[in-house]
Amino acid sequence: MLAALDAPTRERFEALESENYQRWRNRNPQAPDVAATQRQHQETEAVLRRIQESRSIARETKRRNAPGAGLSEREKRDCETVASEIKELSAGGAFYENTADGGKRYLSDEEVANRVKSQKKSYKRHCKS
């Protein structure tokens, strides 16, 4: 069970077990109490199981609450595209769109702001589950 924990936590539990064992030995050096040692080991195992369960519950909750959870792969890709467009438009700069005759038409600041607003609404509606 200790192997399932990260190194610092495992070291703390091993140190506690060693310290408790020494205290027990100092109290009763003549007759080792096997039952007490087993109880202590079982209690330690129970604590470690509870820690592992709480971590797995936290991971599952985080996974379920992540943006885009429950979406198909295509929907996730679409959401990533929208998010990157929002980020790019929000960064500022000059933006243009191609016209039908092959030229470029630069977007005004108001048009860029409207596109960002529209994309944010779309992202919230479709990507936040």
Domain final position from 65, 84, 103: 65
Residue 129 pLDDT exceeds 60: no
Q: Quote the crossing angle between the two packed helices 34-65 and 7-27, to the nearest 10°.
A: 160
Q: Let me know whether 12 and 58 are in one domain.
A: yes
Least confident of 7-16, 20-29, 35-44, 88-97: 20-29
Question: Total domain count for the chain?
Answer: 2
| In a shared domain, residues 85 and 119 | yes
Q: Are residues 80 and 46 in the same domain?
A: no
Give me the mean pLDDT over the 52-63 stretch. Answer: 85
pLDDT 10s digits, 8-18: 888 888 888 88
Mean pLDDT of 28-40: 73
> Residue 110's domain spans which residues?
73-126
In a shared domain, residues 10 and 41: yes
Task: Assess whether 56 and 34 both reside in one domain.
Answer: yes
The DSSP line for 2-39 is: GGGS-HHHHHHHHHHHHHHHHHHHHH-SSS--HHHHHH
Alpha carbon distance 1, 78 (integer Å): 42
Q: d(Cα 93, Cα 19) in Å, to the nearest integer? A: 64
pTM over 0.85: no
Q: Give the residue from 45, 2, 38 showing the smallest Cα distance to 21.
A: 38
Last residue of a domain, one of 40, 65, 90: 65
Q: What is the DSSP letter of 69?
A: T
